[in-house]
Amino acid sequence: MKEQTFGFIGLGLIGGSIAKAIREKLPGSVIIAYDINNDSLETALSDGVVDVAAHAIDRQFQSCDYLFLCAPVHKNDENLNAVVRILSPDCLLTDVGSVKTGIHEAIRAAGLESRFIGGHPMAGSERVGYANSKSLLLENAYYILTPTPSVPAEKLEAYRKLVQTLGCIPLILDYRHHDYVTAAISHLPHVIAAALVNLVRESDSEDGIMKMVAAGGFKDITRIASSSAQMWQQICLTNTVNIDALLSGYIQALCSIQDKLRQKDASGLYDFFEDARIYRDSFINASSGPIKSSHTITIDIADEPGALAAIATILALHQISIKNIGIVHNREAENGVLRIEFYEEASIEKAAKILGVKGYTVYTRRK
């Protein structure tokens, strides 16, 4: 692939990760970036990721072959007004938002349909900002492309090849289909997780017994409730129709299982859980999508001073980063006393091997 120029309007977690992947995979490329956070721009310059730090959306971006809109969704209209004035005829404009209908409508209104392909890298992190961006965030992640009807086929193919070069898996969808799919597998689950957490919060006793004994199952299905409230507020406001339709279906499903409970319908209850188990077990275990895999191990350790610190020290000495660590007090669905969560799947096997050699009993688990 020839040397090209890439522009970024916004250089946060996703924009920064794409820029770093371009720098790593296409080192001869020129990268121009604008962000309202000057510290992010300065860091990107010192990292060698960005060649030009722009302080406005101006003519510096006219040389771009690709221009990525990576600012928050509610900033798209404002940024598009500036982009229209400086976008070259040969530049492909794209975005990284998890809802596509709004940006496609804005692109149509701006008369840029022949130069736009929507993009959604299905990757993320609980951490935000350029400081937490990394090229590996995109590795083997689905990257959905939503081309307009009038974009040239050769531009779509070139973008698809670029996505592959960055280590992602390109998937081409109509933007309306994209929004329905993500509403089902990402947006609705966040609503459900938040609702369940709030239900437990409101139902718990004053001494917090529910919170204290919450088992692994509850934590697993509510983990995404820890995501940014502002981001999910915006997603609900921009993908409202799809989320509302699927939420209605979910409410009906809950009412159906409630009827089976009240009628003590043994056969119906069995089918409910068995159908879900079979379908869930057919999923690919490793996920780079918005519902992230949990890379964890549990370990049998003695209840004695320094036991936990010893394990943390062993892992640190072998350059293995720990995302979370803690004692499992309710082990209804888990083996082991100490639960350790990692940022990357590769850390599981490495940690298990090292700790196994040290005589620890390790239970691996990927969800």
Which candidate, 323, 321, 307, 322, places its Cα nearest to that of 358?
307
Answer with the residue of higher pLDDT: 268 or 222. 268
Angle value at C-alpha 170, between 165 and 175, nearest 5 degrees? 140
Q: What pLDDT, on the 0 to 100 scale, is given for residue 228? A: 78
Which tens digits make up the pLDDT trace of 157-185? Answer: 999 999 999 989 999 999 999 999 999 98
Q: How far apart are CA 93 and CA 61, in angstroms?
A: 11
Q: What pLDDT, on the 0 to 100 scale, is given for residue 364? A: 79
Domains along the chain with CATH numbers: 5-173 (3.40.50.720), 178-281 (1.10.3660.10), 295-366 (3.30.70.260)
Q: Is the pLDDT score of 215 beyond 80?
A: no
Q: What pLDDT, on the 0 to 100 scale, is given for residue 331? A: 38
Q: What pLDDT, on the 0 to 100 scale, is given for residue 216? A: 63
Q: What pLDDT, on the 0 to 100 scale, is given for residue 291? A: 45
Q: How far is CA 332 from CA 82, 105, 125, 340, in A?
A: 56, 49, 28, 17
Share of the chain above pLDDT 70, in %: 91
User: What is the distance of C-alpha 286 from the center of its chain?
Assistant: 13
Task: Indicate the burial class of 15 (C-beta count within 10 angstroms; 0-12, 13-18, 19 or more).
Answer: buried
Q: Retrieve residue 18's tokens.
A: 């794409």
Give the per-residue SS3 of the chain. CCCCEEEEECCCHHHHHHHHHHHHHCCCCEEEEECCCHHHHHHHHHHCCCCEEECCCCHHHHHCCEEEECCCHHHHHHHHHHHHHHCCCCCEEEECCCCCHHHHHHHHHCCCHHHEEEEEECCCCCCCCHHHCCHHHHCCCEEEEEECCCCCHHHHHHHHHHHHHCCCEEEECCHHHHHHHHHHHHHHHHHHHHHHHHHHHHHCCCCCHHHHHCCHHHHHHHHHHHCCHHHHHHHHHHCHHHHHHHHHHHHHHHHHHHHHHHCCCHHHHHHHHHHHHHHHHCCCCCCCCCCCCCEEEEEECCCCCCHHHHHHHHHHHCCCCEEEEEECCCCCCCCCCEEEEECCCHHHHHHHHHHHHCCCEEEEEEC
Q: What pLDDT, on the 0 to 100 scale, is given for residue 336? A: 54
On the CB side of 73, how many CA atoms lie within 13 Å of its CA? 23
For all residues of the chain together, what is the average pLDDT?
A: 87
Q: Is the pLDDT score of 270 beyond 60?
A: yes
Q: What pLDDT, on the 0 to 100 scale, is given for residue 208? A: 85
Q: How far is CA 46 from CA 41, 223, 356, in A?
A: 9, 35, 40
Q: What pLDDT, on the 0 to 100 scale, is given for residue 339? A: 83
Q: What pLDDT, on the 0 to 100 scale, is given for residue 220? A: 73
Q: What pLDDT, on the 0 to 100 scale, is given for residue 333? A: 45
Share of the chain above pLDDT 90, in %: 56
Greatest mean pLDDT range, 221-225, 249-253, 333-337: 249-253
Which tens digits make up the pLDDT trace of 272-292? Answer: 999 988 888 776 544 444 445
Which tens digits make up the pLDDT trace of 187-206? Answer: 999 999 899 888 888 888 88
Q: What pLDDT, on the 0 to 100 scale, is given for residue 67? A: 97
Q: What pLDDT, on the 0 to 100 scale, is given for residue 280? A: 80
Q: How far apart are CA 326 and CA 308, in angstroms?
A: 9
Of the candidate ranges 19-23, 39-43, 290-294, 321-325, the one whose mean pLDDT is the lowest? 290-294
Q: How far apart are CA 321 and CA 348, in angstroms?
A: 11
Which candidate, 63, 62, 56, places its Cα nearest to that of 33?
56
Task: Indicate the burial class of 269 (C-beta count within 10 angstroms; 0-12, 13-18, 19 or more).
Answer: middle
pLDDT bin (cut points 50, 70, 90) of residue 365 is: low
User: What is the distance of C-alpha 59 from the center of its chain?
Assistant: 32
Q: Which amino acid is at 359?
A: G
Answer with the residue of higher pLDDT: 300 or 101. 101
Q: Is the pLDDT score of 303 beyond 80?
A: no
pLDDT bin (cut points 50, 70, 90) of residue 1 is: low
Q: How many CB atoms lie within 10 A of CB 109?
A: 11
Per-residue b or e along 287-310, where b marks 16 or more CB atoms closer than 10 Å to that residue's CB = bbbbbbebbbbbbebeeeeeebee
